Chains A and B, each alone.
Chain A
Amino acid sequence: MELLSNWIDWTPQLWKGLKVSLQLTSLALLFGLPLGLILALASSAKLRLLRYLSIAMVEIGRGAPALVVLQMVYYGLPSAGISVGAFTSGVIALALTTGAYTSEILRAGLNAVPHREVEAGQALGMTHADILRYVVIPQGVLYAVPALMGFAILIFQLTSLTFTIAIPELLARSYRVGAATYLYLDVLALAGLMYLAVTLPFGWLVAFAERRLSLHLK
């Protein structure tokens, strides 16, 4: 009973944290997805320099732990004379991670577009840019949707890392309540439930999208 009444007391505070986590997720996706598409296109560009550069960016972005990228942005940018707050650092780092990961997902999607459609476009005299824009990208991105949604869950979970750079997201706020009350287990359990309340239903949605889109592909 005491646990329940505590949970009710803490909910408004944690709810604020959850909103910050969700904001971070949306901003990371908003900036990271276009970056991912650019990297995906650049990694199959004709220009060799561009191709190698984007492949290197993707490999480093995926190979380096997200927490390392986060702290690099947070501690690195100010020393390079660019002063941004913790929240902006968090968004930049998570967007970079999103870009690196989603570029691979998008590349797989773009590659799934049958090559004969590109050839048909060429036969019709379409320019390379037009073929990309009207034929390859719309279909390729659609193929990638379930995997991208799966990644969105991952990036939502990754927002918990921003605890280490003092962004007041869900984990940071729960920890603060824990430190004040010494009821770490109780408040962290509530935080865990809040994470689950987002990740589980969204996971079901991903499974649904996978079924629907694979139907369309058959």
Chain B
Amino acid sequence: MIDLLLSILRGLPATFGVTVSAFLIGAILAVPLVLMRRSRSILLRLVARIYVDILRGIPPIVWLFIIFFGIGNGFVTLSAFQAATLGLGLVSAAYLCEIYRGGFLALSKSQEEASIALGFTRLDTLRFVLAPQVVRVSIPGMATFLVSLLKDTTVASAIGVRDIMLYASQEAQAAGGGFMPFIMAALLYILLSIPVAYFSRRMDALMRRRVSK
């Protein structure tokens, strides 16, 4: 039992690594994406919209296959870890872009109008008025997404990333079947998501007070 747990825990660094790096890639890439989505130029809006729709419309595991077997097999060579991080990062950017966009929509229109009336440029409005609040409004959604991303990283095992899922699967195969490795893996994933969920609830209450209506 302890042996089994220790064996599965070997996957923790990879699971953690893929989750955090993919989330960071997504969170950063989603910023230009959401600005394009809100841009005055139809072309930029369209490009961002197409990116979001395509990335969200195809299952993450297919993206990992496209990157790992399709692209990472030819002119560039990617390790399974790199391919998984990149693939899930690109997918995350699409989801996080929509979360940021929801944040913009949650702010009252009159704030933007007030900034214009005060002679703020568009950039200054964004930087000093909208963005700080969008970040606050978006945090709970981002935390919820982080939990679902953690669960989605299990698909990385399909291209050979040595994460919790892969070790659980290996243990089950070695033992000729059984529920136990997967029950442990499931509990581990749930355990990992509890701090994020708790943080999200705390931040939500805190941030709500720091957004003007």
Contact = CB atoms under 8 A, between A and B. Distances in A.
Contacts of A41: none
A79 B174 CA distance: 12
Contact of A79 (B65, B70, B178, B190): B178
B16 interface: no
B138 interface: no
Interface string A99-118: 00000000000000000000
Interface range, A side: 35 or more
A161 B61 contact: yes
Nearest to B175: A79
Contact of B183 (A65, A67, A72, A80): A72
Interface stretch (B22-30, B123-131, B152-160, B198-206): B152-160
B169 interface: yes
Interface stretch (A31-39, A124-132, A181-189): A181-189
A65 B186 contact: yes
Contacts of B69: 175, 178, 184-185, 188
Contacts of A78: 177
Interface residues of B, number: 39
A79 B177 contact: yes
A203 B57 contact: yes
Contacts of A79: 176-179
A149 interface: no
A75 B182 contact: yes
Interface string A176-210: 00100000110011011001100110010000000
B98 to A, nearest CB: 12
Nearest to B197: A63
A191 B62 CA distance: 8
Contacts of A203: 53, 57
Given A60-B190, A76-B179, 11 more contacts: A68-B189, A72-B186, A75-B179, A80-B179, A158-B59, A160-B62, A163-B158, A178-B70, A191-B62, A195-B59, A196-B53
